[in-house]
Amino acid sequence: MTVRTVFVVEDDPKIAAVLADYLRAGGYGARVFPDGRAVVAAVRAEPPAAMILDLGLPGMDGMAICAAVRAFSAVPILMLTARVEQADRLAGLDGGADDYVCKPFEAREVMARVNAMIRRAEGRVTRDASALPWVIDEDGQRVAWRGTWLDLSPSEFCILAAMVRSPGRVFTRDQLLDRLGTRALDSGDRAIDSHMKNIRRKIARVEPDAACVASVYGVGYRFEG
The answer to whether residues 141 and 179 belong to one domain is yes
Residues 177 and 97 in one domain: no
Give the CATH number of the domain where residue 104 resides.
Answer: 3.40.50.2300
Model's pTM, two decimal places? Answer: 0.60
Is 142 in the same domain as 37?
Answer: no
Among the candidates 121, 155, 170, a domain finishes at 121
Same domain, 112 and 151: no
SS3 label, residue 215: strand
* Domain end (from 73, 92, 121): 121
Q: Which amino acid is at 133?
A: P
Q: Are residues 195 and 151 in the same domain?
A: yes
- pLDDT in tens for each of the 225 residues of the chain? 568 899 999 999 999 999 999 999 999 999 999 998 899 999 999 999 999 999 888 888 888 999 899 888 888 999 988 765 556 666 667 678 888 888 888 888 899 889 888 887 776 444 444 456 788 887 778 888 888 888 988 889 889 988 888 888 888 888 888 877 655 555 566 788 899 999 999 999 988 888 889 898 888 898 886
Q: How many domains does the chain have?
A: 2
- Rounded CA-CA distance 119/140 in Å is 29
Domain termination site, one of 76, 103, 121: 121
Give the CA-trace dihedral at 175, 168, 48, 57, to 10 degrees.
Answer: 60
23/75 same-domain check: yes
**Rounded to whole angstroms, how far apart are CA atoms 123 and 11?**
31
Looking at the structure, tell me whether residues 109 and 57 fall in a common domain.
Answer: yes
Residues 115 and 160 placed together within one structural domain of the fold: no
User: Do 117 and 134 belong together in one domain?
Assistant: no
Q: Whole-angstrom Cα distance, residue 15 to residue 135?
A: 42
Do 146 and 44 fall within a single domain? Answer: no
In terms of residue numbers, what domain contains 197?
129-223
